[in-house]
Amino acid sequence: MICYNIAYIKTVVLTYKMGSEVTRFFGFIAAVLMAVAPARADSPVVVTDIAPVHSLVAIVMLGMGTPLMIVPPGGGAHGATLRPSQARALQRADLVIWMGPGLTPRLSKSIETLAGGAVQLQLLGAPGTQLLSMREDGDHDGDHSHDDDGLHDPHAWLDPENGHLWLGLIADVLAVQDPENAAKYRANALAGQGALRLLQSELTTLLKPMRGRAYVTFHDAYQYFETRFGLSPAGAVSASDAGNPGPARVARLRALLAKTGRYCAFSAPQFDPGLLHAVTGRDDLRIIPLDPIGGQLTAGPGLYPSLLRNMAAAFAECAQAR
């Protein structure tokens, strides 16, 4: 298998005056490009894993083609397995762009077996990607690193700086696959990066009231978003989304929350919010849905910015509820 890990060193950012509706930019650009440049029949067959990665690739491929996704938005990334149609998609792939085995370990063998001749871009291992170590119980001070040894939190798409970087990497690898259209891929990436810069600035302002305020999450999957925007969780019910917490963890969390005062809680779509009431011992606990993978969103170029905006809106709701 050929693996591209291409360092993206460009710092050019396009500036767009879009007001507060930054995420509409992606839909606008998509409509324009699709109208003037129909998808090429001979564009590379690109397969992605999860919805946020698919969205980033779709931004770069606007007007040139449509990537395929083998882990649907509502599916579980960590335990992903392939259906026959998804296996066939991998067999056709010229390029596989995915987070890497740190997020979807079961896909590794399938990609190697079914798409062994395809170029592969693993985003978690890409140079420049900002990685955070998995947090220990009660420790919310993960450190940055730049390698992928299985000890890092794989939810790195929740840092928009990584999304910005990956747009450039995706454009670079597509330019190698389809050099005739390299300039178009890179122009799309630059447009997406400019919109992400504006969105990040907007979300920084939106999230200021939440800084220093306590909250609890069902599982510890949000530290990239928290670190980027200066948020401080009181704790998480589960260290991952792979299982329910044990008695010792529940006891530690209750003891911590007893000293915290008022707080709200976040639950992902796949979890029963009633467990948060049971673990915290509070029937009046305000529980706000938080979707880190875009399971409720329409797949495509608008999903990634919408995911980040929805995350910020959920945290802002928590701040207002206190």
**pLDDT confidence tier of residue 241, bands split at 50, 70 and 90:** low
Task: Determine the pLDDT at residue 264.
Answer: 78
Residue 20 has pLDDT above 50, yes or no: no
240 vs 188, more confident: 188
Residue 85 has pLDDT above 50, yes or no: yes
Residue 249 has pLDDT above 80, yes or no: no
Q: Cβ contacts of residue 255 below 8 Å, gap of 6+?
A: none
Task: Determine the pLDDT at residue 147.
Answer: 38
212 vs 149, more confident: 212
* CATH T-level assignment (fold) for domain 206-321: Rossmann fold (3.40.50)
Q: Give me the mean pLDDT over the 263-285 stretch.
A: 72
Task: Determine the pLDDT at residue 80.
Answer: 57
Q: What is the chain's mean pLDDT, rounded?
A: 79
Q: What angle do CA 42, 7, 101 make, to 5 degrees?
A: 75
For 274-291, b/e burial (b = at least 16 CB within 10 A) is ebbeebbebeebebbebb
Give the C-alpha separation, 107 to 100, whole Å: 8
Q: Give me the mean pLDDT over the 12-17 stretch.
A: 31
Least confident interval from 88-92, 113-117, 146-150, 250-254: 146-150
Residue 272 has pLDDT above 70, yes or no: no
Residue 142 has pLDDT above 60, yes or no: no
| Residue 184 and residue 59 in contact, taking contact as beta carbons nearer than 8 Å | no
319 vs 200, more confident: 200
Q: Give me the mean pLDDT over the 23-52 stretch.
A: 63
Task: Determine the pLDDT at residue 257.
Answer: 72
Query: Do the two domains 2-204 and 206-321 of this chain adopt the same fold?
Result: yes
- Could you state, in order of their start, the residue ranges of all structural domains in the chain? 2-204, 206-321
2-204 falls under which CATH superfamily?
Answer: Nitrogenase molybdenum iron protein domain (3.40.50.1980)
